[in-house]
Amino acid sequence: MQMCGSVQVFSSRLSFWLFVLCVLASLWQFGSSSSLQKLPFRVSGQVQDFLGFQKSEDAKHASKSDRIDKLFNVLPGVLRAYGYPNVEEKLERLRCHFDAVNKTGLGHDPDIKYNVSGLIASHGYPVEEHEVHTADGFILTLHRIPYGVKNSSKGPREVAFLQHGLLAAASNWVTNQPNQSLGYLLADAGYDVWMGNSRGNTYSKKHETLKPDQRKFWEWTWDEMAKYDLPACLNYALNKTGQKELYYIGHSQGTMIAFAEFSRNQELAKKVKKFFALGPVATVGYMTSPLFKFLSEDLPDNFLTEVLAYLHLYDFFPSDEFFRFLAETVCSERETVFICEFALSMFVGYSREHMNASRIPVYVTNCPAGTSVWNMDHWAQMVTSKKCCMYNFGPKGNMKHYNQTTPPEYKIENMETPTALFYGGLDTLADLKDVSLLIPKIKHLFYNKEIPTYGHLDFIWAIDAQSFCYKDILGLM
């Protein structure tokens, strides 16, 4: 199957793969959830029958191997219904590969088994994990590379703080090889590298009083990341190192929370020497991401926060065994890796020109890393409003939270931080139209670079990001 820069090539297959992904997600999540019985839809029983679970107890106690068997029983019918040839043969080949991986532990990239610290240590770099407490009680994990392999002096170093994007984690900065990943490049260039993990992702699921199975644990959006997470993490890194200023490098949502907080928190903004925004996002009114189009245009209002929360599915796309299964099977096979490429394209676009397809299993193992359904709802609201606003609770809720009927808008033009922008011509989330609206609002824009062939993920995973982007950043620091 031919992959192109535009996701339009997949339009005829969109409904097919969305359906398959729904089946997979249902098989995995609902197969182990008693919430299936509580579905407020007439099709609840039909879903159970289709997946082969006649009773809720069957679903509750089904082992992962049982679910995998049922996966291969369900998919042939789905694929045949959409007219795909040689279904059984292709799936049998996939099943054999999965069985071989299960029995031998071989057949996939060894990096699949590593978390962030494991990835860093596997390349010979020192790594530390730090816990940071926010003002509202969350306990976040910071990953640190205090010095590099090529530059291992242990004296005081300037701090470079890297903040990942939506549904991601610190792994974004260290997933490729050392000469291709910004985290390693900065450490080798003499910087003390700190990498944040936003609340609710794989590494930041702790709270002083709440547990992840409680609804209240998840009732937040990127508003709280900007207000609580960002100041806590930046101040912690500065206090730990004894430095007074740092360089901030954000990607996607990591830029959004910075635009928001640096524009209203001048005390924090003064501690940032320079702000490098990769795939910068302030508004998303013109984005073309199929996922966000679906969330904002096709789903009923409040679907995420009412229906999914009703099912106790507060964590949106967490990193779990389901994605490990995909990484070790579908994403590891030449014949089926296009499915994973397509899934990435449905989120924020995928550029085969700049990506190393052999690393996709490692990407999928680490990302998505989860966020709250309220955060996803906030993003969907922004697609509709075309503004950089706080979360919309509705007129009554807004009066309670903001003392006005509409959510306040962030005033990015108030930001005093020196800022550099790097954006892609093929980015389906940080669309060029939205970026063009952002540029005039930045008072101190000292560098501005468009990379015409880059998509949203190329800024973290492209094999040539060092040449197109990171070299410039290092030269400007």
Pairing of strands 419-424, 445-451: parallel
SS3 of residue 423 by DSSP: strand
Q: What are phi and psi of 315, to 5 degrees?
A: -95, 115
> How far is Cα 201 from Cα 100, in angstroms, rounded to an integer?
31
For residue 322, the one-letter residue type is F
For residue 246, the one-letter residue type is L
In the chain the first and final C-alpha atoms are separated, in Å, by 42
**Ramachandran class of 419: left when φ > 0, alpha when ψ lies in -120 to 50, beta otherwise:** beta
Whose CA is closest to 166, among 313, 310, 372, 24?
Answer: 372
> How far is Cα 278 from Cα 469, in angstroms, rounded to an integer?
9
Question: Which residues make Cβ contacts (< 8 Å) with residue 116, sequence separation at least 6?
Answer: 127, 143, 169, 170, 171, 174, 195, 203, 366
Q: What are phi and psi of 432, to 5 degrees?
A: -60, -35
SS3 of residue 413 by DSSP: helix
Q: Where in the sequence numbering do the catalytic residues fall?
A: 252, 427, 456
> What is the 8-class DSSP label of residue 176?
S
> How far is Cα 37 from Cα 39, in angstroms, rounded to an integer?
6
Neighbours of 359 (CB within 10 A): 18
Whether 466 and 179 have beta carbons less than 8 Å apart is answered as: yes
> How far is Cα 120 from Cα 114, in angstroms, rounded to an integer?
9
Whether 60 and 32 have beta carbons less than 8 Å apart is answered as: yes
Pairing of strands 128-133, 192-195: unpaired
Whose CA is closest to 191, among 236, 249, 133?
Answer: 249
**Ramachandran class of 349: left when φ > 0, alpha when ψ lies in -120 to 50, beta otherwise:** left
Question: Which residues make Cβ contacts (< 8 Å) with residue 438, sequence separation at least 6?
Answer: 259, 280, 282, 283, 412, 421
Question: Which residues make Cβ contacts (< 8 Å) with residue 256, sequence separation at least 6?
Answer: 222, 226, 250, 281, 282, 388
> How far is Cα 118 from Cα 115, in angstroms, rounded to an integer?
5
> How far is Cα 447 from Cα 434, in angstroms, rounded to an integer?
17
> How far is Cα 194 from Cα 335, in angstroms, rounded to an integer?
38
